[in-house]
């Protein structure tokens, strides 16, 4: 069987997964484990739909933005309907007064502008003109919320108020900051995630208790911005979100220029300049990598994860730091059959199958490969893309993958893994046709 015949079967299965996880205008990540609409999942899902149904891709984004609050905030979960198989559900978040659709009270990495630009540049002109223009001010409002509510002073760094806001939920970077979260008054609760997935692949109880306590903290202060900044026990500048927001600002700037929105252009240019400063501040000379920064303790993480490569995605490639970053990549590949692991395989906290403490995620690989390619490091980008495709070919559309063996981990029939496959295959075919 030829390559494109074999991948054609996987294309068909990826289509089926997106269709099966479609709940009528919005897509769940996977059945059981994640039964609602997630923020950056939907953005990536739109990339998958765009390869065979452009209208449905735009609908995914439009439905996600229905969950946006009046202040521009775009939550990480939109609870379209109740489902007792997931915790914490809408009652735990206590956001009913903020929006007509129940949502969570935290956000996720802002990849939406980047996806919006890709749909704009690759879509049918008539459809693009009809769908993109009304979405632009909503995405711009979300960016404004980010810069007002998650900015670390005037540093250009971007903070997260919960590990889940990073999108890389269980990263060892968060262990020390989570240790300062007091759980002495934690309300009783029942985890649901371990009923769907092997508990060895999920966060440990230490982490989950603190995740829930942070949800209750936000609920108890009514998700007040000022109190969050001043009082949240978890307040960490994240390389990943800082990088993703900078890239998103650049992509939104490109759309603002097309639309001739001069006020937006000026604002975005200012945010971009500040974001570049922020990434520079997150460089850590002790480990020769970009690392997170615990604002409450004024300490830098002494460990390296896949997020250290995301400044490439942001368009930042300091020539004085390239050798150190590529040395980390090469060291990881020397230890693992596949890349890019979500955490340093030489570190004692590395766990090849536990959620975000080592496994590979197709979406992060997509971000890393896109950044490397855009910055001119095509051979490295192609290796990341090739690894991603091989993992999916061998293990299917899993939530994540063991970097040592390639075994699939976490949930099955995952929407964003299917979407990334379709997007990569679409790019492959375009390169062959060219």
Average pLDDT per consecutive 10 residues, the chain (434 residues; last block may be shorter): 56 97 96 94 98 96 97 96 90 91 97 96 85 96 98 97 97 96 95 92 95 97 94 97 98 96 98 98 97 97 92 96 97 96 97 97 98 97 97 97 97 97 88 69
Predicted structure pTM score = 0.96
Nearest to 415 by CA among 6, 109, 47, 4: 47
Known catalytic residues are 169, 399
pLDDT at 408: 98
Q: What is the CA radius of gyration of the chain?
A: 20
**Helical (H) or strand (E) element with 236:** strand 236-237
Collect contacts of 78-83 with beta carbons under 8 A, ≥24 apart.
78/26, 78/36, 78/37, 78/39, 78/102, 78/103, 79/36, 79/103, 79/104, 80/23, 80/26, 80/36, 80/37, 83/35, 83/36
pLDDT at 128: 85
Q: What is the pLDDT of residues 134-170, one digit of tens each?
A: 999 999 999 999 999 999 999 999 999 999 999 999 9
The C-alpha atoms of residue 422 and residue 416 are separated, in whole angstroms, by 10
The C-alpha atoms of residue 413 and residue 364 are separated, in whole angstroms, by 18
- Given a contact cutoff of 8 angstroms between Cβ atoms, the answer to whether 395 and 401 are in contact is yes
Q: What is the pLDDT of residues 352-409, one digit of tens each?
A: 999 999 999 999 999 999 999 999 999 999 999 999 999 999 999 999 999 999 999 9
């Amino acid at each position: 069987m030829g390559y494109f015949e074999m991948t054609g079967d996987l294309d068909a299965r990826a289509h089926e997964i997106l269709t099966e996880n479609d709940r009528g205008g919005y897509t769940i990540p996977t059945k059981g484990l994640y039964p609602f609409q997630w923020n950056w999942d939907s953005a990536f899902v739109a990339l998958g739909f765009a390869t065979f149904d452009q209208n449905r891709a735009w609908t995914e984004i439009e439905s996600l933005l229905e969950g946006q609050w009046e202040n521009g905030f775009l939550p990480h979960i939109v609870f379209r309907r109740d489902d007792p198989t997931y915790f914490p559900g809408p009652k735990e978040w206590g956001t009913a007064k903020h929006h007509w659709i129940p949502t969570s009270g935290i956000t996720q990495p802002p990849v939406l502008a980047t996806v919006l630009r890709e749909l704009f540049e690759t879509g049918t002109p008539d459809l693009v003109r009809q769908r993109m223009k009304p979405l632009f001010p909503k995405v711009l409002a979300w960016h404004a919320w980010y810069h007002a509510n998650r900015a670390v002073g005037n540093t250009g760094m971007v903070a997260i108020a919960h590990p889940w806001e990073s999108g890389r939920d269980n990263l060892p970077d968060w262990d020390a900051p989570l240790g300062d979260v007091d759980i002495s008054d934690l309300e009783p609760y029942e985890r649901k995630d371990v009923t769907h997935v092997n508990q060895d692949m999920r966060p440990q109880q230490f982490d989950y208790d603190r995740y829930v306590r942070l949800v209750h903290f936000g609920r108890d202060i009514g998700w007040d911005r000022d109190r969050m900044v001043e009082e949240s026990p978890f307040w960490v500048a994240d390389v990943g979100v800082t990088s993703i927001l900078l890239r998103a600002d650049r992509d939104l700037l490109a759309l603002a220029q097309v639309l001739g929105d001069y006020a937006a252009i000026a604002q975005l240019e200012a945010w971009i300049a500040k974001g570049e400063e922020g990434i520079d501040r997150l460089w850590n000379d002790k480990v020769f990598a970009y690392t997170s920064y615990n604002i409450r303790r004024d300490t830098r993480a002494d460990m390296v994860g896949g997020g250290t490569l995301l400044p490439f995605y942001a368009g930042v490639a300091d020539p004085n730091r390239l050798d150190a970053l590529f040395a980390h990549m090469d060291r990881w590949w020397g230890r693992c059959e596949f890349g890019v692991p979500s955490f340093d395989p030489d570190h004692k906290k590395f766990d090849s199958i536990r959620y975000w403490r080592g496994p590979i995620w197709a979406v992060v690989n997509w971000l890393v490969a896109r950044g490397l390619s855009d910055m001119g490091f095509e051979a490295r980008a192609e290796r990341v893309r090739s690894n991603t495709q091989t993992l999916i070919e061998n293990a299917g559309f899993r939530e994540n993958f063991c970097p040592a063996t390639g075994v699939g981990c976490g949930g099955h029939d995952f929407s964003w893994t299917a979407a990334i496959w379709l997007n990569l295959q679409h790019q492959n075919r375009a390169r062959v046709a060219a």
